[in-house]
């Protein structure tokens, strides 16, 4: 094998291993938030107990924690001083995802021809890949394993430019109100504000990989969403959401796009850093 | 904790009340979006149904593949609301026990009340947990649907919560 193929093989293997692990074990910060929940009895407590028991089972049995192992949403951040070839990165991401779906016993949840025949691709491919430039010379590959019970509750509003922070909070609360018990609460929320319609939507997913840009706004949204008392499993009580992360960017004078990505309690994700020469 | 043996008896289904924690054992059928569309069309066209509705329940689920030594992979419930457009006709045709996750439409609640059915909620996202309650899984219709095919399961002590009971009472929490 030539050097390029050796590198591709190693990169794809690393991606595969991280994805398989992500399907079975939550990231430490996500698990910590679930451990910390102290429901006030009732069904909230039964649901949280089932979730905790499920996480133990998934790890012990080497099974995905949820049968919906999701669509591969992928963000590739390439250092401006990196010498990595974009075409090689794409190959590694696709191959890593393909191997993970096969060897990790992921459900093949992707279909072609969405409004027609809806024929399963049989591989859980294609992944949905975004590329960005960043500082440095490394390449960061981040995956969200996006389940669709929650994704069906993700949504977007184009607010008036004068709507302000209250408008953003209310938009998210309204979107969560119509989500109700559908997305497997307690949920994790990503909020994207500004840009264009598609940029806001993109930011609402990127938000799961960044510190919130506005912790005061995040706290406000979290509090208001929890006041809905949708509760674990949608069966009432506390909590409805466990965390809110907000990202924003400049926008047009005429608008205020607000996008919400809803993630179920099983917030499965991973980020892999490839140093210069590793990809 | 109430026990429900499947296929169910009339007495059992009427004894479960909204808010009850239940444990199900026995035979359970599995179908989600595409299966619902096909069952709906079969009823509309007067075609044969792939399994008897009387006494049986349907679980809204599409499993992940079973590794060696497992009856099934992860096998938690999917969102019930997507079956809402199909369920009232299925309930009227005798499929009165449903298991999924999340809220149902008013029309489903009314059909459950009128035909004395049950809507149970399983624990969402708990795929590994439910896998351990399933002893056997076989495809009985529509194999071309892959992970969405119609399955027959043998289950044991499968936990759920009654959200709509046979009187149409809704658990609100």
pLDDT at A48 over 90: yes
CB atoms within 10 A of CB B66: 17
pLDDT digits 0-9 by tens, A53-104: 999 999 999 999 999 999 999 999 999 999 999 999 999 999 999 999 999 9
* pLDDT score for B155: 98
CB atoms within 10 A of CB B3: 10
Residues of chain A contacting residue B66, judged by C-beta atoms under 8 Å apart: 105
Distance CA A10, CA A230 (A): 44
Q: Residue A149: left (phi > 0), alpha (psi -120 to 50), or beta?
A: alpha
Q: Does B157 touch chain A (CB under 8 A)?
A: no
Residues of chain B contacting residue A69, judged by C-beta atoms under 8 Å apart: 64, 74
Q: Identify any residues that bridge with A246 across adjacent strands, giving them in sequence order.
A: A191
Strand A139-146 to A71-79 pairing: antiparallel
Q: Does B133 touch chain A (CB under 8 A)?
A: no
pLDDT digits 0-9 by tens, A217-243: 999 999 999 999 999 999 999 999 999
| Contact assignment for A64 to B127 by CB distance below 8 Å | yes
Could you tell me the pLDDT band of residue A3, with boundaries at 50, 70 and 90? confident
Sorted by sequence, the CB contacts under 8 Å of residue A93 that are 6+ apart come out as A15, A74, A76, A127, A129, A141
Q: Is residue B138 part of a domain?
A: yes
pLDDT at A140 over 70: yes
pLDDT digits 0-9 by tens, A154-197: 999 999 999 999 999 999 999 999 999 999 999 999 999 999 99
Q: Is residue B40 part of a domain?
A: yes
| Contact assignment for A63 to B128 by CB distance below 8 Å | yes
Distance CA B80, CA B82 (A): 5
Cβ atoms of A16 and A102 within 8 Å: the answer is: no
Please give the mean pLDDT across all residues of chain A: 97
Higher pLDDT pick, A21 / B172: A21
CB atoms within 10 A of CB A277: 10
Nearest CA in chain B to A147: B125
Residues of chain B contacting residue A147, judged by C-beta atoms under 8 Å apart: 125
Element (H, E) at A131: strand A128-134
| Contact assignment for A107 to B171 by CB distance below 8 Å | no
Q: Is residue B109 part of a domain?
A: yes
Phi then psi for residue A31, to 5 deg, are -60, -40
List the helix and strand counts (H, then E) for chain B: 5, 7
Domain count across chain B: 1
For residue A181, give the nearest of B124, B33, B130 by alpha carbon. Answer: B124
pLDDT at A251 over 90: yes
The CATH topology of domain A3-25+65-146+268-274 is Dihydrodipicolinate Reductase; domain 2 (3.30.360)
- pLDDT truncated to tens, each residue of chain B (173 aa)? 999 999 999 999 999 999 999 999 999 999 999 999 999 999 999 999 999 999 999 999 999 999 999 999 999 999 999 999 999 999 999 999 999 999 999 999 999 999 999 999 999 999 999 999 999 999 999 999 999 999 999 999 999 999 999 999 999 87
Q: Does B102 touch chain A (CB under 8 A)?
A: yes
Instruction: State the smallest CA–CA distance between residue B56 and chain A in angstroms.
Output: 23
Q: Largest alpha-carbon pair distance within chain A?
A: 61
Structure tokens at A11: 């990169």
Distance CA A192, CA A202 (A): 7
Cβ atoms of A246 and A207 within 8 Å: the answer is: yes
pLDDT digits 0-9 by tens, A25-46: 999 999 999 999 998 789 999 9
Residues of chain B contacting residue A235, judged by C-beta atoms under 8 Å apart: 121, 161, 163, 171, 173
Which residue among A44, A46, A66 sits closest to B74, beta carbon to beta carbon?
Answer: A66
Q: How many Cα atoms are found within 13 Å in the side-chain-facing hemisphere of B35?
A: 25
Q: For residue A247, what is the DSSP state?
A: E
CB contacts < 8 A (A, B): 144
| Contact assignment for B62 to A67 by CB distance below 8 Å | yes
Q: CATH number, domain at B128? A: 3.20.130.10
Instruction: State the smallest CA–CA distance between residue A214 and chain B in angstroms.
Output: 30
What is the average pLDDT across A252-273?
A: 98
Domain span at B46: 2-158
Best residue of B64, B132, B133, B148 to probe chain A, by most A CBs closer than 10 Å: B64
Q: Is residue B42 part of a domain?
A: yes
Count the helix, strand and coil residues of chain B and give each as a percent rounded to the nearest 5.
Answer: 30, 30, 40
Best residue of A49, A60, A63, A118 to probe chain B, by most B CBs closer than 10 Å: A63
- Work out the angle between the directed axes of helices A86-103 and A3-24 (0-180°, nearest 10): 50
* pLDDT score for B172: 82
3-state secondary structure of A263: strand
Cβ atoms of A229 and A240 within 8 Å: the answer is: yes
């Amino acid at each position: 094998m030539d050097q390029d193929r050796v590198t591709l093989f190693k990169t794809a293997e690393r991606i595969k291993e991280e994805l398989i692990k992500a399907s079975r074990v939550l990231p430490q910060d996500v698990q910590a938030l679930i451990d910390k929940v102290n429901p006030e009895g009732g069904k909230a407590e039964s649901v949280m107990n089932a979730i905790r028991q499920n996480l133990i089972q998934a790890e012990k049995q080497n099974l995905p924690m949820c049968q919906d192992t999701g669509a591969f949403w992928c963000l590739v951040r390439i250092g401006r001083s990196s010498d990595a070839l974009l075409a090689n990165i794409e190959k590694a991401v696709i191959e890593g995802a393909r191997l993970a779906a096969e060897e990790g016993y992921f459900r093949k949840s992707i279909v072609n021809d969405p409004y027609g025949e809806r024929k399963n691709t049989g591989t859980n491919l294609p992944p949905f890949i975004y590329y960005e430039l960043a500082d440095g010379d490394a390449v960061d590959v981040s995956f969200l394993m996006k389940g669709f019970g929650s994704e069906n509750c993700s949504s977007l509003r184009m607010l008036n430019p004068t709507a302000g922070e209250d408008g953003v909070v209310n938009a998210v609360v309204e979107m969560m109100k119509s989500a109700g018990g559908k997305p497997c609460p307690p949920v994790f929320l990503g909020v994207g504000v500004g840009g264009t319609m598609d940029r806001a939507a993109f930011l609402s997913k990127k938000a799961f990989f960044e510190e919130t840009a506005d912790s005061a706004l995040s706290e406000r949204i979290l509090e208001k969403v929890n006041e809905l008392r949708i509760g674990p499993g949608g069966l009432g009580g506390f909590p409805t959401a466990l965390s809110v992360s907000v990202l924003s960017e400049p926008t047009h004078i005429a608008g205020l796009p607000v996008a919400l990505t809803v993630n179920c309690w099983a917030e499965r994700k991973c980020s892999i850093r490839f140093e210069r020469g590793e990809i | 904790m109430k026990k429900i043996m499947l296929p169910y008896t009339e007495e059992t289904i009427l004894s479960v009340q909204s808010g009850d924690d239940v444990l199900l054992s026995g035979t359970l059928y599995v179908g989600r979006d595409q299966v619902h569309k096909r069952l709906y069309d079969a009823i509309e066209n007067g075609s044969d149904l792939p399994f008897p509705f009387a006494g049986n329940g349907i679980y809204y689920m599409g499993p992940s593949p079973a590794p060696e030594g497992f009856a099934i992979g992860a096998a938690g419930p999917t969102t019930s609301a997507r079956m809402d457009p199909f369920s009232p006709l299925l309930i009227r045709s005798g499929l009165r026990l449903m298991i999924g996750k999340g809220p149902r439409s008013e029309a489903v609640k009314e059909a459950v009340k009128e035909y004395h059915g049950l809507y149970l909620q399983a624990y969402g996202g708990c795929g590994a947990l439910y896998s351990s309650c399933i002893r056997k899984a076989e495809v009985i219709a529509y194999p071309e649907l892959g992970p969405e095919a119609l399955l027959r399961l043998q289950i044991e002590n499968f936990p759920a919560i009654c959200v709509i009971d046979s009187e149409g009472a809704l658990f609100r929490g």
